[in-house]
């Protein structure tokens, strides 16, 4: 027991959530990568690749949980490197599905936006921790500047990630007690920018729009009107729960339709991994739509367990933050847990067709390289910050709290 307690430091609930998500990930990815297995003629290749990145991530968690939280302020420097990588990706990145989000290095690819997400959260947490009455205006404009600049580099190739990052940073500023009038000003500016963007997409002819703008327009139109293209890519009848159902699957609604079929096939309360069929038809079944595959194969209970795990993560993160005696790790925990949970909810909402397709993976469960390792780093930082919950407050951070604690 002493051996395990020395290795697995930090909050045991967070460790339990992390290990549970890793196990679910291995089962789901092993089943959902059937198309990759056929493509590469290698039954074990896809899952071994995913397991490899998970193992690297676990070692990252074990190492980072031992790192003093003061070193996480170095995320400010990583943000500078991330911005540089985002520029490189825009100029020379690999084009995958019409977006230049990846940089190829040898046989691997990295996604700079993943580094930008975690480093921006760390930067905002650091600036919020230094906020005082005499410098709050200056720090506010610094925060807005780095958020706007970073999200501006992300938005052209990955709108959903830019919206996700901006939303999490906004929530952090709200929790960090930034003045309400300033937050309202951000909301007004953001709303005006959104209206102008939508108006531009609607008014300008498609042939004059950049490729990504055309993609956004198509997704918004499909979701808002429910109208699909008239060219059929599949027969009029599909099989759902063993019965033939009249349903038109087109080139435009292909992903969403097969996700719906997968979820409808998950009518059972509980099932077995590997029992689904939509993994062979659903594009990105191992990534963007893996939640639909989990419901199809493991049933209602499986989907509910995944949802509850993320909510437990959010609740536990809030509890740890409330007990944290230092401001920087407090805001860091809140930012990291909020990012993970909102991204998970976005992925699930896409799978059940509540929002348009965003391309956001399910954190720690979806197959990935950069995203898997970075998500593990999130957990490592949360665990490191959780080690502070029983410490006395640092007077240099918050003198008022420290005085109360030492009396």
Residue in the structure block whose two tokens are 């690819």 = 109
Is the pLDDT at 82 greater than 70? The verdict is yes
Please provide residue 99's backbone torsions phi and psi, each rounded to the nearest 5 degrees: -135, 135
| Three-class secondary structure of residue 89 per DSSP | helix
pLDDT at site 396: 40
CB-neighbour burial class of residue 86 (10 A; exposed 0-12, middle 13-18, buried 19+): buried
pLDDT at site 367: 87
pLDDT at site 210: 61
pLDDT at site 170: 94
Residue 182's nearest CA partner among 214, 146, 143 is 143
| Three-class secondary structure of residue 131 per DSSP | coil
Residue in the structure block whose two tokens are 């930012």 = 335
Question: What does the pLDDT average to over 351-372?
Answer: 85
pLDDT at site 191: 87
Share of the chain above pLDDT 70, in %: 76
pLDDT tens-digit map of 373-403: 999 999 999 999 988 765 544 444 444 433 3
Residue 117's nearest CA partner among 355, 373, 315 is 373
**238 vs 72, more confident:** 72
Residue 317's nearest CA partner among 378, 398, 374, 361 is 378
Decide if 29 contacts 286 (C-beta within 8 A).
yes
Decide if 392 contacts 325 (C-beta within 8 A).
yes
| Three-class secondary structure of residue 67 per DSSP | coil
pTM of the predicted model as reported, rounded to 2 decimal places: 0.83
The mean of the pLDDT values for the chain is 80
Cα 122 from Cα 102, distance rounded (Å): 22
What's the token pair of residue 119?
A: 């480093």
Q: Which range among 80-84, 95-99, 126-130, 269-273 shows the weakest confidence by mean pLDDT?
A: 95-99
Domain locations in the chain as residue ranges:
7-398
CB atoms within 10 A of CB 5: 9
User: Which are the contacts of 220, defined by CB distance < 8 A and separation ≥ 6?
Assistant: 198, 201, 356
**261 vs 246, more confident:** 261
Is the four-CA dihedral 25, 28, 33, 37 of positive or negative sign? Answer: positive
Cα 58 from Cα 64, distance rounded (Å): 10
Residue 255's nearest CA partner among 233, 239, 240 is 233
pLDDT tens-digit map of 196-227: 877 777 777 666 666 666 666 666 666 555 55
pLDDT tens-digit map of 29-69: 888 887 777 676 777 778 888 899 999 999 999 999 999 98
Cα 278 from Cα 296, distance rounded (Å): 8
pLDDT tens-digit map of 18-40: 999 999 999 888 888 877 776 76
pLDDT at site 1: 55
Is the pLDDT at 229 greater than 50? The verdict is no
Band of pLDDT at residue 249, cut at 50, 70 and 90: low
Q: Which range among 78-82, 97-101, 139-143 shows the weakest confidence by mean pLDDT?
A: 97-101
pLDDT at site 392: 46
pLDDT tens-digit map of 289-319: 888 888 888 888 888 999 999 999 999 999 9
Decide if 213 contacts 193 (C-beta within 8 A).
no
Question: What does the pLDDT average to over 93-112?
Answer: 71
Cα 236 from Cα 249, distance rounded (Å): 7
């Amino acid at each position: 027991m002493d051996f395990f307690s020395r290795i697995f430091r930090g909050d045991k609930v967070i460790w339990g959530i992390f290990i549970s998500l890793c196990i679910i990930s291995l089962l789901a990815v092993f089943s959902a990568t059937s198309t990759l297995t056929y493509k590469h003629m290698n039954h074990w290749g896809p899952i071994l690749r995913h397991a490899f990145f998970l193992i690297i991530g676990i070692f990252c968690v074990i190492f980072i949980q031992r790192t003093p939280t003061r070193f996480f302020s170095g995320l400010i420097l990583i943000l500078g490197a991330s911005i540089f990588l985002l520029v490189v990706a825009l100029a020379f990145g690999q084009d995958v599905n019409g977006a230049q989000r990846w940089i190829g290095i040898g046989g691997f690819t990295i996604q700079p936006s993943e580094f930008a997400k975690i480093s921006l959260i760390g930067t905002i947490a650091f600036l919020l921790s230094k906020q005082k009455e005499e410098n709050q205006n200056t720090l506010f404009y610094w925060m807005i500047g780095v958020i706007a600049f970073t999200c501006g580099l992300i938005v052209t190739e990955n709108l959903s990630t830019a919206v996700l990052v901006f939303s999490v940073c906004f929530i952090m500023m709200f929790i960090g007690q930034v003045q309400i009038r300033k937050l309202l000003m951000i909301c007004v500016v953001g709303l005006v920018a959104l209206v102008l963007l939508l108006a531009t997409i609607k008014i300008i002819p498609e042939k004059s729009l950049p490729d990504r703008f055309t993609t956004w327009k198509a997704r918004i139109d499909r979701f808002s009107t429910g109208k699909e293209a008239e060219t059929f890519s599949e027969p009029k009848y599909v099989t759902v729960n063993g019965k033939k159902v009249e349903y038109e699957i087109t080139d435009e609604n292909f992903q969403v339709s097969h996700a719906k079929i997968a979820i409808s096939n998950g009518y059972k309360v509980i099932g077995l991994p590997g029992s689904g069929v939509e993994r062979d038809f659903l594009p990105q079944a191992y990534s963007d739509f893996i939640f639909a595959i989990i419901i199809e194969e493991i049933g209602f209970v499986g989907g509910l367990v995944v949802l509850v795990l993320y909510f437990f993560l959010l609740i536990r993160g809030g509890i740890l933050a409330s007990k944290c005696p230092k401001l920087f790790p407090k805001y860091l925990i809140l930012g990291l847990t909020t990012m993970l949970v909102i991204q998970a909810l976005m992925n699930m909402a896409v799978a059940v067709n509540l929002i348009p397709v965003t391309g956001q993976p399910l954190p720690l469960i979806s197959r990935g390289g950069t995203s898997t390792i970075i998500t593990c780093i999130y957990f490592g930082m949360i665990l490191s910050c959780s080690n502070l919950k029983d410490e006395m407050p640092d007077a240099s951070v918050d003198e008022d709290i420290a005085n109360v604690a030492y009396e």
